Amino acid sequence: QAKLKSFAAKIIQLLKEWTETFPYDFQDEKSMKELKEIAHRITQCDEENGTVKKIISQMTQNLLMALSTRSQYQEIREKFRQPVTDKGTILKTKPQSTQKDILSVCCDPLILAQQLTYIELERVSNIYPEDLMQIVSHMDSLDNHKCRGDVTKTYNLEAYDNWFNCLSMLVATEICRVVKKKQRTRMVEFFIDVARECFNIGNFNSMMAIISGMNLSPVARLKKTWSKVKTAKFDVLEHHMDPSSNFCNYRTALQGAAQRSQTANSNREKIVIPVFNLFIKDIYFLHKIHTNRLPNGQINFKKFWEISRQIHDFLTWKQVECPFEKDKKIQSYLLTAPIYSEEALFIASFESEGPENHMEKDSWKTLR
């Protein structure tokens, strides 16, 4: 009887950690039914006092609350901004001097970087271990030629990825829609400073999104504008994000931020927001390159330990409470300001600086 109670206690501990860490594993009726059956058997081991029954009841209640919360989050799907595609509006109507841009909302790079970090941490908090493990299970499904079943599980990942793309396009839009070269130069330099502040904070994801936006063709082709920009800071940022040697420079910076976070006394120093696309790719390649089993048939624990370590690091970083106060005005602009489609960006870009070669002239004719 004593051994049975000891075994039951260990099963309860296992179930408790499982339901808390991976609640989505129990979202379908079958798995929930199996959980209840196991719970019922365990409670029979301790019918004399209701301790086990209370623990099981609390565990089930917490699980249902977690599932309900996440279900509500997925129901309130964000309405991502539709890119502006009306050519006539961009070509015929020049932006008015009174028209709001990012500088009219926030002209301090540090404050904007802090608000971007606030948004990042808010969105990262909605990513759970099962979202990340879905990458692995999805790959296994593809390997076994199975159809991917529950698409909703990866919504959190897709939403976060969309945020990155929206931020990149917003940066490009803000630059391309400025008519005067002097103001456009100022806008480019402003975003360079914002990206640098993001780097200093440890917000690598926003920094990468900003750099990506400035490297989009409609922005990169603005040679007259870039000739007036003090690019020394931008060169440093690009050095950190240099893709050579598997983003070696970025990984060194990330490691430094992670070490700072471990010994930090304040939430400000604990912030680590990795470039999410690279983080996902790391998990992907860890799973793809290494086999699940060793040649002798044993489980490749080293592989799963490494995947677990990376996910654990991410979960640690996402739990950091944002030390910056929310500025509703700035965040509203960042999340709702209209962004141009790629085609509209090129139109605005050519309007700012005309086509210079035959390829650009052909593109301009097509766009018009």
In this predicted structure, which of 78-82, 201-205, 236-240 has the lowest mean pLDDT? 78-82
The per-residue pLDDT of the chain, averaged, comes to: 84
For residue 203, the 8-state DSSP code is: B
Which two structure tokens, joined as six digits, stand for 54?
Answer: 């209370």
pLDDT score for 154? 62
Show me where the domains of the chain are located.
Answer: 2-72, 84-367
For residue 147, the 8-state DSSP code is: P
Instruction: Check: CB of residue 301 under 8 Å from CB of residue 283.
Output: no
List of residues 6+ apart from 164 with CB closer than 8 A = 205, 208, 209, 212, 276, 277
Q: Evaluate if residue 50 carries a pLDDT over 80.
A: no
Separation CA 319–CA 270 (nearest Å): 10
| Arithmetic mean of pLDDT, 176-194 | 95
| CATH classification for the domain delimited by 84-367, as one of 1.10.357.10, 3.50.50.60, 3.40.50.2300, 1.10.840.10 | 1.10.840.10
Would the pTM of this model clear 0.85, i.e. be above it? Answer: no
Q: What digits encode the pLDDT tens for the residues 162-175?
A: 899 999 999 999 99
pLDDT score for 5? 73
Identity of the residue numbered 361? K
Separation CA 170–CA 324 (nearest Å): 22
